[in-house]
Structure 1
Amino acid sequence: MRMDYFSDLVEKSIAGSKAEITGDGSKFEARVVSDAFEGLSTVKRHKLVYAVLDEHIKSGAIHALTIKTFTTDEWAAVE
């Protein structure tokens, strides 16, 4: 399965998001930027991303997932 498939899933499911998912085939890192994260704790942000990818985690297509989430303003400060 291509990395951009997972990125597209996240972008279609989380309003106004931009996702970049990289990995080696089973271990992945997701970086997601969306104003939908505004006011949410890190745990709640991660739950949103996990919910989108849950089917692929349960199937074993994604074995390990590291998630980094940012609002647009937070991302601008990091870049």
Structure 2
Amino acid sequence: MAMQAAEIERLIKEGLPDAEVHIEDLRGDGDHYAAHVVSRSFVGKSRVQQHQMVYAALKGSMDKELHALGLQTSIPEDA
């Protein structure tokens, strides 16, 4: 089952409340998205740690409804 962009955004914002989240449906199929997430929570974290934080916020959706997510993360100063 496909996942809606609004649900991805909701989950990320729930896990990272200060995040600015921009989601793009790359194919229009609800399975392939790109996400840009900007959060102060990422300060001092490596890119891998930042991505892990976003994946944790998605609560396992990457293994189920969400097929592909291109992820870009940054802190506000770098956005």
TM score, norm. by length of structure 2:
0.83
Which structure has the highest helix share of the two?
Answer: 1
Q: Deviations over 1:15-74 (max 9, x none)?
A: 411111222311111110101000110000000011112421111x11111110011101
- What displacement does 1:14 show? 0.9
Q: Look up the match of 1:16.
A: 18
Question: Is structure 2 residue 43 aligned with structure 1 residue 38?
Answer: yes
How many positions carry a matched residue from both structures?
74
TM score, norm. by length of structure 1:
0.83
SS in 2 for 1:39: coil
Gaps of 5+ in 1: none
Root mean square deviation of aligned Cα? 1.3
Gaps of 5+ in 2: none
Deviant stretches of 4+, over 3 Å: none
